């Protein structure tokens, strides 16, 4: 008999999923990278991203949508501890407010530097963001 994974998805209040004969689990980690887990996977503890988790049983793929959580892999047991199940796929997250703030500051800085007199700025071309030739 081939190695199989026991795959569980748990919340603080209940078990959302407990599948004993899983051949593969695929989910997204917090760093936005996808991870596929097969039998005999090395032990792992990682943060997961909200979204779909696909698992394969008897050659058929099934999907559960979960909120962010913690993944634990040990001895062919794969467990995701999460805040809950999502009813439907979530849209991609909105751009981070810090990124928008940084973009605004960078734009203001470039405009300010472009308004300065050319002497003292060296050979840097602020409009073209490169060296003058």
Task: List, for residues 27-63, the tens digit of each pLDDT value.
Answer: 999 988 999 999 999 999 999 999 999 999 988 999 9
Percent of the chain whose predicted confidence (pLDDT) is above 70: 66
Structure confidence at residue 87 (pLDDT): 58
pLDDT in tens, 81-133: 998 877 555 455 555 556 666 677 677 666 666 666 655 555 555 555 544 44
Q: For residues 64 and 75, give the distance between their C-alpha atoms in angstroms, rounded to a whole number.
A: 22
pLDDT in tens, 59-79: 899 999 999 999 999 999 999
pTM for this prediction? 0.63
Question: According to the model, what pLDDT value does residue 102 have?
Answer: 67
Rounded-to-10 torsion of CA 19, 22, 24, 26: -10
Q: Which residues neighbour 3 within 8 Å (Cβ) at sequence distance 6 or greater?
A: 39, 40, 76
d(CA 84, CA 14): 9
Q: Does residue 28 sit in helix, strand or coil? A: strand
> What is the structure's pLDDT at 78?
97
Q: What is the pLDDT of residue 107?
A: 72
Cβ atoms of 19 and 79 closer than 8 Å: no
Token couple for 70: 């913690």
């Amino acid at each position: 008999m081939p190695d199989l994974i026991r795959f569980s998805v748990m919340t603080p209040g209940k078990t959302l999923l407990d599948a004993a004969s899983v051949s593969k689990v695929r989910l997204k980690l917090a760093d936005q990278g996808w991870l596929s887990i097969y039998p005999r996977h090395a032990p792992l503890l990682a943060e997961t991203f909200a979204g779909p988790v696909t698992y394969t049983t008897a050659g058929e793929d099934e999907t559960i949508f979960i909120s962010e959580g913690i993944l634990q892999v040990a001895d062919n047991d794969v467990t995701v501890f999460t805040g809950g199940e999502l009813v439907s796929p979530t849209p991609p997250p909105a751009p981070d407010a810090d990124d928008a703030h940084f973009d605004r500051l960078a734009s203001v800085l470039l405009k300010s530097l472009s308004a300065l007199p050319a002497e003292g700025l060296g050979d840097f071309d602020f409009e073209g963001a490169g060296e003058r030739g």
